[in-house]
Structure 1
Amino acid sequence: SPKQLPKDYQAEFAWKFYKQISQSFETNIVGSPYHIREAFACLSNVSLPSNTLSKEFQKAILLPRTNLIHTRYDLQRERFQCRDELRVATLAAGLGTKHVLDGKFRSTMDHCRMFQTRVATDHAIKMTQKLNGVFWNASNNEMRKFLSPTDIDVDWDFLIINSVILSAPWKYQFKPSDTTVCPFYASKSKQIYTEFMQVEGYFRYGYFSQWNLAAVEVPFQDGSPYSCLLMHSIDGSLSNMMKNYDHNRFREIYQKLNEGKTTIIMPKSIIRVSLKSSNILKSLGLKTPFTEKIWKVFNSPNGASLGEFMQKVTIQFESGVGQIVKNIPGRDLGNQFIAHEPFVFTVFDRQELTPIIVGHLIEPTKTEKPKSNHLMCQNPPRWTFKG
């Protein structure tokens, strides 16, 4: 039984994180709780021993002070680094002219594979230009103008920024759906015409009336350490579906999926979201604000203040260049996962079932193309929309 497995604090934090940000966003959301928690695990190594951080982190991000968590991140880092589907860049920057990054902080960030820089100016615009230039290089020219001057307070001692970009190719190639442009039912009263794509093949699928959801696993190309799970609610309410959701349920759902002939239809979309972790962690129980001097990362006996940990995540639902699925014989329709309504997605580590990215799509990319024959589009959801 999944309930007998050891507690996965990283995974439990991922679902706490998702539930919290889903309350703050009325539209599409995506975040990488894995990389936020990984960074704070590194920072815990350079926090002042006299502060109250330990108990608060235990509550907010479920971070017991143990070497086991650092060993796990090290092993996962090695496994994830061999692929480039998920491109991650993190920069820790000392700000202002008062302090110099000390050796322990530098070695800790090196170990965690974070880039480091120091911006010796007290001018917000110059800080922003410098940091954006450094991060442009650190992200292999993928993240341009990450920060604006309004993101920075010149009184901060240091800042961490993190970029996560997923463009993993699917194992099987999606193609334009037979109707291509159809309505997506964003709410009971709102329809958005968007481009859909579809694939028919043998996928792991499950319909769980007891949990008010249907789920399907959409694998990435062979050899990828990641996979993707899509879930939509049966009654039309994501909040009802996720109300009692935790990692035990995720594992149980995953174990109960059965492979069979399945058609997946979903909208083509790109989701980009920026998150500031201070408010998220505060809502999860971190009472000591970032502005308290609790990290001893500079040559100062009183520690230093983290200004903010900012994250930007980009995920693409595109057709890709996967294997072309041959026509499957038989007249049986098989399972149908038709995402013409809001759905939750999770990119997770296939080996340990740990969520890396979580989010939901409520409003897909709107298309300006002519509408398809509406009668040929998938029928509207049969449920009474409650979300």
Structure 2
Amino acid sequence: MSIPDISFPLLLLSILLLGYGCRAADIPEDTTSEFSVRLYHRLQVAGGQENIIFSPLSVAVALGMVELGARGTSLDEIRQTVGFSHLLPGVEFSLLQNLTEALSDDDAHHVIRLANSLFLQEDASFNPEFLHLIKKFFRAQVETVDFSDSAAVAERINSWVENHTESKICALLSAEDFTSVIRLTLVNAVYFRGSWKNQFRPENTRTFSFSRDDGSEVQTLMMYQQGDFYYGEFSDGSQEAGGVYQVLEMPYEGEDMSMMIVLPRQEVPLSSLEPIIKAPLLEEWANNVKRQKVEVYLPRFKVEQKLDLRSTLQELGIQKIFTSDADLSAMTDGKDLYIGKAVQKAYLEVTEEGAEGAVGSGMIALTRTLVLYPQVMADHPFFFVVRNRRTGSILFIGRVMTPEVIELNDQDFDSM
């Protein structure tokens, strides 16, 4: 008997607004950190000179929901690739539950919303135990739809996504993404909005030249402050990464969340530094940066990216669930279900802290020749991580190859 072409779009949606950093003290082992870095490297190889932004935690949560319904090799591939194979079977669901709940503990200082939803074909039969567990561990909403009415389904899911991401992710899907053979669509949305613990003053923002790795330059709005941050200088012991590079960790209000910025020397392209990035190195950076006064130049930037994760996850070792050989029998009684689509759309915007209005036209007096503190001049491409400093879980990871570009006018300045 031939297997019908039933696809199951897995949608991974992530948002970060106004994000600004935290300090890592004692970081527990994050079993998904190696998966996060491997996923970044796959995207980096394919990304050319483009910005990158995605949410490893969002991918891990969505795969966790799929794992609840997987058996056999389909199950083993997910556990091995994400980093759960050393855990007792089933422990990873409690781990993911604890990681996501920990993100929302300090809601007085920032907003983190994680929302999961399952859209089921209204006349299809699904395992009650699977539905029970997905509600238990992931607090997923379960809703029935008629996938044969593709326009209505696309509108319903897009509306759900917009409502859970402050309208930053819009029109993710179209009617063409759905057919009458689809039985299930799983959606995971992550939204983050935070304020820097040490905010930038808008009047200190100036136009600055940003040197891209291809040799071109663009004009951007560069924020500036002197403040207390976590800072360190590191070297891989060779010239592979261009020698010494800087790591700056900037806490958000509450200090549970942080943004870590990794900056190579001015003359060193980011591509020289990226190959050395590994999960243990992320922990080394977090454990060895020291609180001190730092002079920071950071561009405003907005990064948005929609990723088709299917081929990337297959390259990392998750293959069966995307083929007709998939075993998702814990979801349904039959074995005619497989994953047809894996999509993530992420958004990150970094500003002084929501300040609006015209950029000041006066030149502030800064003594560049008598620098008393370490200076982080992010006027060239850099790598970044937004993470929870208590659990070590990575909410967002990416790079800025081109920041927010502005047009020149009479109020611009070539340098500070």
Q: Which TM-score applies when normalising by structure 2?
A: 0.79
Flag structure 1 segments of 5+ consecutive residues without an equivalent: 323-330, 378-387
Cα displacement (A) at 1:244:
2.5
Instruction: Supply the distance in 2 between the matched residues of 1:17 and 1:114 (Cα, whole angstroms).
Output: 25
Whether 2:389 is the aligned partner of 1:350: answer: yes
Alignment pair present for 1:78 and 2:101: yes
Offset from partner CA, 1:74-112 (integer Å, 9 cap, x none): 2223322232533333332224x6614442232222121
The aligned amino acid for 1:243 is P
Corresponding residue to 2:222 among 189, 196, 206: 196
The 3-state SS of whatever aligns with 2:116 is strand
Residues 237, 187 of structure 1: alpha-carbon distance in 2 compared, 3 angstrom cutoff: closer
For 1:56, the equivalent position in structure 2 comes to 77
Q: How many residues align?
A: 364
1:160 maps to which residue? Answer: 186
Task: Determine which of 6, 16, 28 is the counterpart of 2:51.
Answer: 28
Pick the aligned partner of 1:309 from 336, 342, 352.
342
Tell me, in whole angstroms, the C-alpha distance in 2 between the residues paired with 1:101 and 1:135.
23
Distance between the aligned counterparts of 2:162 and 2:219, measured in 1? 35
The 2-side partners of 1:193 and 1:227 are apart by 27
**Is the contact between residue 278 and residue 309 of structure 1 (CA under 8 Å) also seen in structure 2?**
yes
Per the alignment, residue 254 of structure 1 pairs with: 286
Q: How does 1:355-370 map to 2 (within 5 A)?
A: 355-370=394-409
**Structure 1 CA distance for aligned equivalents of residues 344 and 297 of structure 2:** 30
Q: Give per-residue Cα distances to partners, 1:240-278, cap 9 Å, x unaligned.
A: 212122111111122221222101111112211112221
The percentage of counterpart residues that share the same residue type is 19
CA distance in 2, matches of 1:344, 1:218: 14
CA contact (8 A) 1:199 1:263 kept: yes
In structure 2, the residue corresponding to 1:155 is in which secondary structure?
coil
Pick which of 280-289 and 75-84 moved more.
75-84
The one of 215, 223, 226 aligned to 2:257:
226
Output the CA distance in 2 between the equivalents of 1:310 and 1:85. 24
Residue deviations 1:259-298, cap 9 Å, x none? 2210111111221111222122011122214243422365
The SS at the match of 2:407 is coil
Structure 2 residue identity aligned to 1:10 = T
Q: Counterpart of 1:295 in structure 2: which amino acid?
A: L
TM normalised by structure 1 equals: 0.84
Is residue 40 of structure 1 aligned with residue 73 of structure 2?
Answer: no
- 1:68 maps onto 2:91 in alignment: yes
Supply the RMSD in Å over aligned alpha carbons: 2.9
Higher relative contact order (CA 8 A, sep 6+): 2
Q: State the match for 2:22 in structure 1.
A: none
Unpaired stretches in structure 2, ≥5 consecutive residues:
1-26, 356-369
CA distance in 2, matches of 1:375, 1:366: 14
Amino acid at match of 1:337: V
Measure the CA separation in 2 of the matches of 1:286 and 1:237. 32
**2:4 is matched with which residue?**
none
Matches within 5 A, 1:228-243: 228-234=259-265, 235-243=267-275
